[in-house]
């Protein structure tokens, strides 16, 4: 393998690694840039828009709960617990909107980089060393973010079951709670609705 091919291969692997993280969001860094009408875009990206709807339902519910909590005098601990969750939801909204708005520019940038790689001369050994170091830092960063996200989601997902277990041990009663404080138009602690609310929150949190 020539040094030039090495550069292209490392770049392709990096794109593939990022794409793995975007897969559940139904976002792609490599796709057809053909202009499509709004309906075709929604139809072809139905999973993405489904995720956006679920996430925004959670965001609106969190805002509603926060407003209600402030007006009814909820404890500072509860309000502080809610703040990071709401912040992450809003940040994810901004991230998705930015990605969709600048998608064509990102695709053009990737295409331009590949074109430059095909035109570039063979790399020197020092360039290869620097490139390998940069790629290593990239993978460390991406893997660290992925692990942190998985740990955070797992901890939030286990909170209801841990609370249920501790409550049952103390009182002998089953107390259903949810990972996030979200206002619903129904009683989310009702056993009939709790699984739906739980799955919706975990799915939205995964985004």
| Residues 126/130/133/135 CA torsion (nearest 10 deg) | -120
Question: Per residue in 61-98, is it b (16+ CB within 10 Å) or e — as a string?
Answer: bbbebbeebeeeebeeeeeeebeebbebbeebeeebee
Q: For residue 148, how many other CB atoms are within 10 A of its CB? A: 10
User: Considering the domain boundaries, does residue 185 fall inside one?
Assistant: no
Query: What domain count does the chain have?
Result: 1
Tokens of 169: 């041990």
For the stretch 40-82, pLDDT in tens is 666 667 778 888 888 888 889 999 998 988 898 888 888 888 8
> For residue 76, what are the domain limits?
3-145
Residue 160: inside a domain: no
Mean pLDDT of the residues in the chain: 81
Residue carrying structure tokens 């593939």: 16
Give which of 117, 142, 118, 111 is closest to 131, Cα–Cα.
117
Residue 186: inside a domain, yes or no? no
pLDDT above 90 covers what percent of the chain? Answer: 3
Asked if 13 contacts 93 with a C-beta cutoff of 8 angstroms, the reply is: no
pLDDT tens, position by position, 146-172: 888 888 878 888 888 988 888 888 888
Does residue 195 lie within any of the structural domains? no
For residue 172, give Cα distances in angstroms to 14, 87, 163, 169: 52, 36, 12, 6
For residue 98, being part of any structural domain is answered with: yes
CA count, 13 A, side-chain hemisphere, 13: 11
Asked if residue 151 belongs to a domain, the reply is no
Concatenating the DSSP letter of every residue in 69-123 gives HHHHT--HHHHHHHHHHHHHHHHHHHHHHHHHHTHHHHHHHHHHHHHHHHHSPPP
Does the pLDDT value for residue 198 go beyond 80? yes
Handedness of CA 158, 161, 166, 167 (dihedral sign): positive
d(CA 6, CA 128) in angstroms, rounded, equals 9
Residue 121 in any domain: the answer is yes
């Amino acid at each position: 393998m020539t040094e030039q091919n090495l550069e292209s291969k490392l770049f392709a692997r990096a794109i593939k690694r990022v794409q793995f993280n975007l897969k559940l969001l139904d976002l792609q860094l490599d796709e057809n840039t053909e202009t499509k009408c709004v309906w075709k875009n929604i139809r072809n990206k139905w999973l993405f828009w489904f995720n956006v709807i679920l996430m925004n339902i959670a965001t609106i519910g969190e805002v509603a709960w926060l407003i209600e909590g402030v007006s009814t005098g909820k404890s500072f601990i509860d309000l502080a617990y809610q703040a990071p969750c709401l912040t992450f939801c809003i940040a994810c909204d901004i991230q998705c909107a930015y990605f969709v708005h600048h998608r064509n520019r990102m695709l053009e940038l990737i295409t331009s980089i590949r074109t430059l790689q095909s035109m570039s001369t063979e790399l020197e050994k020092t360039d290869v060393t620097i490139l390998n170091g940069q790629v290593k830092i990239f993978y460390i960063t991406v893997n660290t973010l992925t692990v942190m996200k998985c740990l955070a989601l797992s901890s939030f997902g286990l909170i209801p079951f841990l609370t249920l277990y501790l409550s049952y041990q103390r009182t002998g009663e089953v107390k259903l709670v949810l990972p996030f404080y979200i206002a619903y138009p129904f009683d989310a602690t009702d056993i009939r609705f709790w699984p739906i609310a739980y799955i919706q929150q975990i799915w939205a949190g995964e985004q």
